[in-house]
Amino acid sequence: MTAILSAQDLVVRRGDAPETFDIGRGLTLLNTSRESDSTLLSLTLAGRHRPHSGTILLDDEPSSHRERFKQIALAGVQEIDSLDRLVRVRDVVREQIAWSQGFFRRTPHTSEAIKSHKHVERWLEPLQLEEIDLTEQVGEISPLDRFRLRVLLALISRPEATMLIVDDIDQVRDMDLRRELLDDLRGVAVHLPVMVNTVNEEGL
C-alpha cells in the first residue's frame, strides 16, 4: 500500500501510548476506543491540534500542523462544523464557496449556479446530494443529508485537498443510514483518499 498519510510513534497527548499506522488510497476505517480519543486524533491528523510527540508524514514527507491544516479536509467535528438549523442550506454552501476562492471572484446566488460551481458539482453525485433543496433550512433536511452537507462543506473549503478525514461517523445512529453514508464516502474516495474515524465497527 502506498501511504498518503503515515503516523509514526504518534502521541496525541501526554500519557497516551504511541501509535503507528498508515492511511492509503481509497477508504480507510480507523477504530478508536473512545469518542474523545477519536476526535482528538482526527484534529491532530488534520492539523487542527498539535500532537505531544511523534511524526506525521504526508506523501512520505514530514509535515507540520500548518501544512496539514491547508491540505486535509475535515468533517464531523461538532465544535468545528456544526450547523445552525435555522439557516438555509443555500446560505451555508454559498458562504463556504466565498471563503474557498479569492475575494474578488463572484459568488453564485441561485441554487443552479451554486450546484454547478466547480467546488461543489463534483461532490454532489458521490454524496447523493444532487437533488438537495438548497432553499430549505438546515433543520428541514434529513439527519443523513445534514451529515452529507457537513462533508460537502469540508470538501468545498479545501478544493485542493490531499485527503478527507471524517470524524465520529457514529453520530449517524441508525446502522442502515451509517452504512449508506459509508457507501457515499467510498464514492468520494474514488477521487480523494478518505479516512473515517469510528468507535463502533459493529455492522459496518
- Low-confidence stretches of the chain (pLDDT beneath 50): 203
Backbone torsion region of residue 168, taken as left when φ is above 0, otherwise alpha when ψ lies between -120 and 50, otherwise beta = left
What is each CA distance from 81 to 15, 150, 166, in whole angstroms?
29, 7, 11
pLDDT tens figures, 143-157: 999 999 999 999 999
What is each CA distance from 138 to 25, 90, 200, in whole angstroms?
32, 9, 27
Q: Give pLDDT, residue 1.
A: 64
Strands 53-58 and 27-31: unpaired
pLDDT tens figures, 89-118: 999 999 999 999 877 788 898 999 999 999
Q: Give pLDDT, residue 165.
A: 97
Beta bridge partners of 163: 72
For the whole model, what pTM was predicted?
0.93
- Domain limits of the chain? 3-197
Q: How far is 21 from 41, CA to CA, in rounded Å? A: 12
Residues in CB range of 71: below 8 A, 6 or more apart: 47, 58, 63, 158, 160, 161, 162, 163
* 106 DSSP 8-state letter: P
Tell me which fold the domain 3-197 belongs to: Rossmann fold (3.40.50)
